[in-house]
Amino acid sequence: MSEERKVDTTGHQWDEDEGYPLQEYNNPLPRWWLYSFYATIVWAVVYWFLYPAWPLVTDFTHGMLGWSMHGQLQEELAQAQIQQKPFNDNLEKMSLADITHDPQLLQYAISGGKAIFGDHCAPCHGSGGTGSRAGGFPVLVDDDWLISGTIEGIHETIKGGHTAMMPAHLVEFGGAFKGEQVEDLVQFVLSLTNRETNKDAVARGAQLYRGEAGCNGCHGDHGQGSARDTLAGQPMEKTIGAPNLTDAIWLYGGDEATIRRSIAKGRNGQMPAWSAGTEGMNRKLEALAIKQVAVYVHSLGGGQ
Ligand code: HEC
Ligand code: HEC
């Protein structure tokens, strides 16, 4: 028991009066550990010299290699641009129709257009173009078009924007018609999708629609709407974008209360213009981006 082993201690010891001094040994560290430790120090010093490392008061040490994350990103972007250039050049010079006939270019335009749509259009039209009735933002995935569903027409709409002018009709909102007349018009509009509740009201509403109220001037004699730059086969100077009232696809809503609201107060949906040369809400896209997003919207399934 009393045999003392000769060991190197730090001189620190606990429990002195117990007879078994509890001592702190001073064993050497294992070699492998020590060398790894030195290696990390060398590594750190080499790293400080080569790479950005230490913050200074207004700057930081840049390192001898001149590397930076930002620089690497720039390089990768430049690389991507070089790869995209031939595609972009073709997109720029080819017509929209030709682009849709070139599968590779079409795919490229659609994927670029999709990203642009997500950034700029989805807040109103919903991601994927599913629209929003609350805001009167049209669905872009069906084949019901307010303004135009051809690829050229879609391109025009995006470039120049469109402001819908559906006037208010109820006297209280500045229109020219009394409450009962608006009710008759509501019944007539309901009848276009076979949901009328009062035949006499429908007859009176039809008279107003094609007569005094002149709804047909925008929505067409049969409520067919004024898309495709024609009204009843007649070319129009400027697209009104009045919705088709017969197809059970609604911009704001097809229930009686919403139809009444549309007719009484009017509606003024605003599609901003995106072309850099246009006035208005400050939303601008390059010509190339507009082309890509037009191809994308046309591809959503409802393109004509
Ligand atoms: C501020 C909301 C808003 C934004 C952002 C917006 N739109 Fe629109 N867009 C509208 C409204 C409202 C209409 C309907 C205009 C009308 O009734 O005249 C519309 C109409 C359209 C139409 C015509 C649909 C048809 O049926 O003829 C297309 C195509 C379209 N938008 C594409 C786009 C694209 C592409 C973008 C993004 C670059 C975009 N929109 C961004 C609100 C918006
Ligand atoms: C000057 C052209 C014009 C006239 C006149 C007009 N409308 Fe409209 N109407 C529009 C436009 C454009 C829209 C789309 C509004 C929007 O996008 O914000 C619209 C929208 C509507 C809607 C909403 C449709 C939906 O899908 O939610 C109804 C209902 C409607 N009109 C009925 C009528 C009736 C009934 C009359 C006559 C009393 C009439 N409109 C007169 C242009 C017109």
**Tokens encoding 161:** 């924007």
C-alpha 197 – ligand 1 centre gap (Å): 34
Among the atoms of ligand 1, which is closest to the Cα of residue 136? Answer: 12
pLDDT of residue 231: 47
pLDDT of residue 37: 96
Q: What percent of the chain has pLDDT over 90?
A: 61
C-alpha 238 – ligand 1 centre gap (Å): 16
Q: Which of 19-23, 106-110, 206-210, 232-236 has the lowest mean pLDDT?
A: 232-236
C-alpha 177 – ligand 1 centre gap (Å): 30
Q: Decide if pLDDT at 74 tops 50.
A: yes
Q: Decide if pLDDT at 39 tops 80.
A: yes
Q: Is 36 exposed, middle or buried (0-12, 13-18, 19+ CB in 10 A)?
A: exposed
Among the atoms of ligand 1, which is closest to the Cα of residue 145? Answer: 26
* Closest ligand, as measured to the CA of 190: 2
Among the atoms of ligand 2, which is closest to the Cα of residue 252? Answer: 27
Q: Decide if pLDDT at 229 tops 90.
A: no
Q: Decide if pLDDT at 63 tops 80.
A: yes
C-alpha 115 – ligand 1 centre gap (Å): 16
The preferred substitution site among 142, 166, 262 for testing ligand 2, maximizing ligand atoms within 8 Å of CB, is 166
Q: What percent of the chain has pLDDT over 70?
A: 90
Pocket of ligand 2 (CB under 6 A): 136, 164-167, 169, 185, 189, 209, 213-215, 217-219, 240-243, 245, 250-253, 259, 262-263, 267-269
Confidence of residue 1 (pLDDT cuts 50, 70, 90): very low
Pocket of ligand 1 (CB under 6 A): 117, 120-121, 123-125, 136-138, 140, 145-148, 154, 157-158, 162, 164, 241, 269-272, 274, 293, 297
As a whole number of angstroms, the longest Cα–Cα distance in the chain is 123
Look at the block and give the residue holding tokens 């010891």. Answer: 13
Confidence of residue 278 (pLDDT cuts 50, 70, 90): low
The mean pLDDT value of the chain amounts to: 88
Confidence of residue 153 (pLDDT cuts 50, 70, 90): confident
User: Residues 235, 134: contact at Cβ < 8 Å?
Assistant: no
C-alpha 282 – ligand 1 centre gap (Å): 15
Q: Which of 217, 215, 226 is closest to 259 using CA atoms? A: 215
C-alpha 182 – ligand 1 centre gap (Å): 28
**Tokens encoding 117:** 């749509």
Nearest-CA residue for ligand 2 atom 9 is 166
pLDDT of residue 76: 94
pLDDT of residue 142: 85
The preferred substitution site among 218, 236, 268 for testing ligand 2, maximizing ligand atoms within 8 Å of CB, is 218
Average pLDDT over residues 100-116: 94
User: Residues 215, 185: contact at Cβ < 8 Å?
Assistant: yes
User: Residues 172, 193: contact at Cβ < 8 Å?
Assistant: no
Q: Decide if pLDDT at 232 tops 50.
A: no
Average pLDDT over residues 162-175: 94
User: Residues 183, 201: contact at Cβ < 8 Å?
Assistant: yes
Average pLDDT over residues 76-82: 93
Average pLDDT over residues 287-294: 94
Tell me the C-alpha distance between 262 and 242, whole Å: 12
Encode pLDDT of 235-255 as tens digits. 444 578 899 999 888 999 999
Q: Which of 155, 140, 147 is closest to 91 using CA atoms? A: 155
